[in-house]
Chain A
Amino acid sequence: MGRNVKVNVEYLTRVEGHGNIVVNVKNGKLEECRLDIVESPRFFEGMLIGRSIFEAQHITSRICGICACGHTLASIQAAEDAIGFIPSAQTTQLRKLLLHLENLDSHLLHIYLLVAPDLLGVKSFVPLIKTHNDVVRRALRMKKSCNDVCDILVGRHVHPISSIVGGFTKLPKEKDLDAMLSLLKVLRTDMKPTIELAKTLIFPQFERETEYVGLVNDSDEYPMLEGDLGSTDGLRMNKKDYRKITNEFIVSHSSAKHAKASRESYMVGALARVNLNFDKLHPKAKAVANAIGLKPITTNSFLNTAAQLVECVHSLEDSIRIIEELKVKGVDRSQEIVVGLNENGAIKVKAGTGVGAVEVPRGILFHEYEVDKKGKIVNANCIIPTGQNCNNIEKDMQKLVPEVLDKKQEEITLLMEMLVRAYDPCISCSAHFLNVKYING
């Protein structure tokens, strides 16, 4: 007779949003293994109907407080694509900077406050205030620096103010560029001990081959804001065809819609991006990857956290490069815009459909809007990274459980929690849209 194991984690902690883990092993046989999303639905796509396309960014930013800038940028891209607006080179450059800042901010939060406690054997960062005071202080300091740079660039990180359809309502002055640069350079000095700390963390052993999906391009740039859709199984297509990748489908055991591309599931996020575009990382980021032994193609999902660290270095160094370039070129502040709801017709509007495909901290994010000739939204669709990852998380759980059945129940539970946390799931994001599974109670 095999063993019976029941894992039931209600309201998984240290993730964004509400999710439950359910594992049921009977007589040594895995009967059930699920990640249930129990976040209350918010109906964002419905709420957008009838609103002005110039409000879409403001509203969809509120899908998620952690990736507010990512939603903002995906929303703006979709909106501009729909109405046929082409942003200036300067606007694009500043948007890339904003995306880097959020990537850095979000990854640091995840590595330090959400994952490190597991690897150091405590329940949260709070006990670490006593035992690892310098580490906690560093984490909060780095997080605050990202936040301060965002304050300068777009007014604030949580729900950015000045980044809108058409460009920016406020552009940085020379002294703002200097202030951002000096904050990031201080952050750079804290990055060193962060890397040293990361080297000491031991991640669980686990391998499962899967397909990695993200943006790809033909240039030397590590694609975050723009590109085609690609995968490690060789898919490549225009972003407009995103539904061919996400292929939402219904699974028999629940009403959940899952995503799959070339095989049973796929993964998006930092690990997917590093696997797809390793050669395009900043040399310093590549050096860190080498130092911690991360190379393409890595198939241990726990190492998504390590990939986030590598991306932190990339995003930091590339942010500094962008600001230094802006300092040399100078910011053309005549591009500042006043748009509101476009009452003054500052931006030309036409009917159409547009897609935004942007790499946000947790993976590729899609927004799609259809607008009428007055710029009113008639249809909206958003597909969130965590929604795309759900299927892959479950497949990982199904492979991992039988491999660790000799461990104590608590250890199995912790491993399952750590696995889900490694994906840095943004459950309130994913639950606001389609990929939601319902569980009674």
Chain B
Amino acid sequence: MKKVKVAFFDFTCCEGCQLQVANMGEMLLDVLDLIEVVEFREVMSEKSNDYDVAIVEGSITTSHAVERIKKIRKTAKVLIAYGSCAAIGGINGMKNNFKLKEIREYVYQKDAKHFDTIPTHAVHQVVPVDYTVPGCPVYIPEFIQVLKAALSGLPYNVPDNAVCVECKLNENECMFDKGVTCLGPITRAGCNSWCINNGNICYGCRGMVSNPAENGQKDILEKHKISLEWIENKMNMYNKSRELGELK
């Protein structure tokens, strides 16, 4: 069987999702039996303009990046948005809470003018995306599932039910009952309630469900006396880019 050529590309991000690939251990070698990685700058010096699948990490935050992702889209038969920054804009979206000029000057002061920056966009807001692996970082079992789907031409849909579903199956005590707010009720499952299993709250890194149980959520907020504004501020840690339309 001819191996499918796969290239990894990074945009604005921490590169932790790429690192998750190295964290697969020897299983990575099994994956490499099926695919030929032709470009992966973080760990390889090889470069190539010939690939079938582009795995794209990071969000689009500069005009240079807009041009680059368009070129990648032209070459790739399949494009996978890999990790929250690529999938939903992620943590970089918090920048959109501020006026660009102000945040640039705060961080870079008088050198600010040198820094090309546009509002943070998810990849799908700039070019069409075929598969999405959300998560900060990605959950490797889900990535493998997506990779299998992509290689065999099958669709993959990110679960559209709340993290709470998985959290219940994992028999965790509800964070609201412990006296803190959690974004589990409105965040897409698929991570096996990773954070709550480890005693922390859900920060909403996988993006919001398309049809949140609005009334149920309101009941929870009322019961625990939590303001909408408070929840919105938390949601905006990962999900701020959702407010933007497609970048023309």
Residues of B close to A124: CB separation below 8 A:
40, 43-46
Residues of B close to A434: CB separation below 8 A:
107-108
- Residues of B21-66 at the interface with A, using a CB-CB cut-off of 8 Å, are 22-26, 28-29, 32, 37, 40-47, 61-62, 64-65
Q: Digit string of B172-204 for contact with A (CB within 8 Å is 1, else 0)? A: 000100111110000000000011011111010
Contact in complex: A343, B180 (CB < 8 Å)? yes
Residues of B close to A164: CB separation below 8 A:
200
Residues of B close to A187: CB separation below 8 A:
none
Is B133 interfacial (CB-CB < 8 Å)?
no
Contact in complex: B92, A65 (CB < 8 Å)? no
Residues of A close to B47: CB separation below 8 A:
13
Beta-carbon nearest neighbor of A145 in chain B: B25
Is A45 interfacial (CB-CB < 8 Å)?
yes
Contact in complex: B11, A40 (CB < 8 Å)? yes
Interface SS of chain A: helix, strand, loop or mixed? loop
Residues of B close to A162: CB separation below 8 A:
198-200
Residues of B close to A157: CB separation below 8 A:
23
Contact in complex: A137, B32 (CB < 8 Å)? no
Residues of A close to B28: CB separation below 8 A:
140
Distance from B97 Cβ to chain A, minimum over Cβ atoms (Å): 8
**Residue among B22, B29, B98, B137 with max Cβ neighbours from chain A (10 Å):** B22
Among candidates B104, B115, B179, B200, residue contacting A161 with C-beta atoms closer than 8 Å: B200
* CA of A159 to CA of B191, assembled, Å: 14
Among the 9-residue stretches A74-82, A318-326, A334-342, A387-395, the one with 4 or more Cβ atoms under 8 Å from chain B is A334-342
Among candidates B40, B107, B197, residue contacting A45 with C-beta atoms closer than 8 Å: B107
* CA of A164 to CA of B108, assembled, Å: 28
Report, as a range, how many residues of chain B touch the other chain: 35 or more
Contact in complex: B117, A65 (CB < 8 Å)? no
Is A230 interfacial (CB-CB < 8 Å)?
no
Count A/B pairs, Cβ under 8 Å.
200
- If the complex has contacts A65-B18, A123-B46, A147-B23, are A11 and B199 also in contact, measured as CB distance less than 8 A? no
Among candidates A13, A59, A170, residue contacting B91 with C-beta atoms closer than 8 Å: A59
Is A144 interfacial (CB-CB < 8 Å)?
yes
Interface size, chain A (Cβ < 8 Å): 68
Residues of B close to A16: CB separation below 8 A:
15, 42
Is A158 interfacial (CB-CB < 8 Å)?
yes
Contact in complex: A123, B237 (CB < 8 Å)? no
Contact in complex: B136, A62 (CB < 8 Å)? yes
Beta-carbon nearest neighbor of A379 in chain B: B106
Among candidates B12, B15, B43, B203, residue contacting A125 with C-beta atoms closer than 8 Å: B43
**Residue among B14, B40, B90 with max Cβ neighbours from chain A (10 Å):** B14
Is B208 interfacial (CB-CB < 8 Å)?
no
* CA of A110 to CA of B116, assembled, Å: 31
Contact in complex: B199, A428 (CB < 8 Å)? no
Residues of A close to B25: CB separation below 8 A:
140-141, 143-144, 147
- If the complex has contacts A16-B42, A47-B94, A59-B91, are A42 and B12 also in contact, measured as CB distance less than 8 A? yes
Is A49 interfacial (CB-CB < 8 Å)?
yes
* CA of A127 to CA of B25, assembled, Å: 17
Among candidates A113, A137, A156, residue contacting B43 with C-beta atoms closer than 8 Å: A113
Is B19 interfacial (CB-CB < 8 Å)?
yes
Is B20 interfacial (CB-CB < 8 Å)?
yes
Q: Digit string of A290-318 for contact with B (CB within 8 Å is 1, else 0)? A: 00000000000000000000000000000
Distance from A408 Cβ to chain B, minimum over Cβ atoms (Å): 18
Residues of B close to A45: CB separation below 8 A:
106-107
- If the complex has contacts A65-B16, A255-B114, A344-B180, are A55 and B108 also in contact, measured as CB distance less than 8 A? no
Beta-carbon nearest neighbor of B226 in chain A: A343
Residues of A close to B137: CB separation below 8 A:
65, 156, 158-159
Among candidates B41, B45, B181, B199, residue contacting A343 with C-beta atoms closer than 8 Å: B181
Among candidates B17, B22, B64, B182, residue contacting A113 with C-beta atoms closer than 8 Å: B22
Question: Would you mind naming 6 contact pairs between A and B with Cβ atoms under 8 Å apart?
Answer: A40-B64, A41-B117, A42-B61, A45-B107, A169-B200, A438-B114
Q: Which 10 A-B pairs have the closest CB atoms?
A: A65-B16, A340-B180, A144-B25, A169-B199, A155-B198, A124-B44, A46-B103, A170-B199, A438-B114, A161-B198
In the complex, besides A44-B107, A65-B14, A140-B22, 8 extra interface pairs with C-beta distance below 8 angstroms are A16-B15, A58-B237, A113-B43, A137-B29, A169-B199, A343-B181, A344-B180, A436-B108
B binding-site residues for A, Cβ under 8 Å: 11-20, 22-26, 28-29, 32, 37, 40-47, 61-62, 64-65, 90-92, 94-95, 97-98, 102-104, 106-108, 111, 114-117, 136-137, 175, 178-182, 194-195, 197-201, 203, 226, 234, 237
